[in-house]
A and B are shown apart, each in its own frame.
Chain A
Amino acid sequence: MNAEQVLFWLFSVCTLVAASGVIFARNPVASAMSLVATFFFLSGIYVLLWAHTIAALQVLVYAGAIMVLFLFVIMLLSLTDSGPVLHFTPSRIAGGVAVIALFVSLTAVFRKLPTAELTWVGDAAKLKNFGTIQHLGEVMYTQWLFPFEAVSLLLLVAILGAVVVAKPRI
């Protein structure tokens, strides 16, 4: 086992344990904290996938900004524990069975994927540029400029919408 395999298994087990914590924690604050842990471990996985820029963004935007928003709302509503988490009803059991079936079928498909070697790694120039913030920035501000501007507009609309919806009187 080399270092990459050790890190992969460590991060994936931690990610899945923390994600289960999100679902099965009784207190919403505990769920939010588990979600922060999930995002951190997942950014480790992103680094293993040579996506350093996205890993940094994951920590800054998700674990930073979005989770602060969640915690603000939890504390604003001062939610407390609300009864047992698992309350079995027919629809929930059906949902659980559907989730297990989805996971089994997805796993069956992914295991059949050909395990191709990464042939492009031989291209030194490509490897040097892969996932760097410089290369991503170049592509984003030239080829993907229009989607980028569209997303900025979407964020503006979302901010205005959030204020309009959440404020009792404007």
Chain B
Amino acid sequence: MIQTISTSHYLILAAALFCLGMLGVLIRRNALVVFMCIELMLNATNLTFLAFARERGDDLGHLSAFFIIAVAAAEAAVGLAIVISVFRARGTVNIEEIQSMKH
């Protein structure tokens, strides 16, 4: 039996990371920083997958983390393209000034 840091420690760290990312999404106005905070939240999810993978001794959680990394890369590529396109049209990346889809 190996004495290690318990899974709940890792889960609380993941919760803290997710909440920091969520706080950033809610309070920041720069669209790029909002994207970075979404990456933080995705990383918190990865940490949860890896913590439970070790708890259960089943490394399929590692594969889930791998797929999340791949999807995050796709999300970053498309999202940043949209930011560039919006900046070209409006001259700003402030998400409070981009509200033409509001009714």
Contact = CB atoms under 8 A, between A and B. Distances in A.
B16 A66 contact: no
A121 B39 contact: no
Contact of B19 (A28, A99, A111): A99
Contacts of B67: 147, 151
A4 B7 CA distance: 13
A92 B39 CA distance: 20
B6 A51 contact: no
A45 to B, nearest CB: 7
B66 A136 contact: yes
A163 to B, nearest CB: 8
Interface string A26-66: 00100110010011001001101111011001100110011
A139 B17 contact: no
Interface string A100-120: 101100110011010111111
- If over half of B's interface residues share one DSSP class (helix, strand or loop), that class is named, otherwise mixed; here it is helix
A23 interface: yes
Nearest to A123: B57
Contact of A49 (B40, B51, B72, B94): B51
B39 A66 contact: yes
Nearest to B33: A31
Interface string A64-101: 01100110011011010010011100001001101110
B6 A95 contact: no
Q: Which of A22, A48, A65 is most buried by chain B, counting CB atoms within 10 A of its CB?
A: A22
Q: Which of A15, A48, A161 is most buried by chain B, counting CB atoms within 10 A of its CB?
A: A15
Interface of B: 1-13, 15-24, 26-30, 32-33, 35-37, 39-40, 43, 46-47, 50-51, 53-57, 59-60, 62-63, 65-67, 69-78, 80-85, 87-88, 93-94
Cβ-closest 10 pairs across A and B: A120-B57, A95-B26, A158-B74, A162-B81, A166-B81, A106-B15, A23-B24, A165-B81, A103-B19, A110-B11
12 contacts: A22-B37, A23-B27, A23-B28, A57-B69, A61-B69, A70-B76, A96-B23, A122-B1, A136-B63, A136-B66, A162-B77, A165-B85
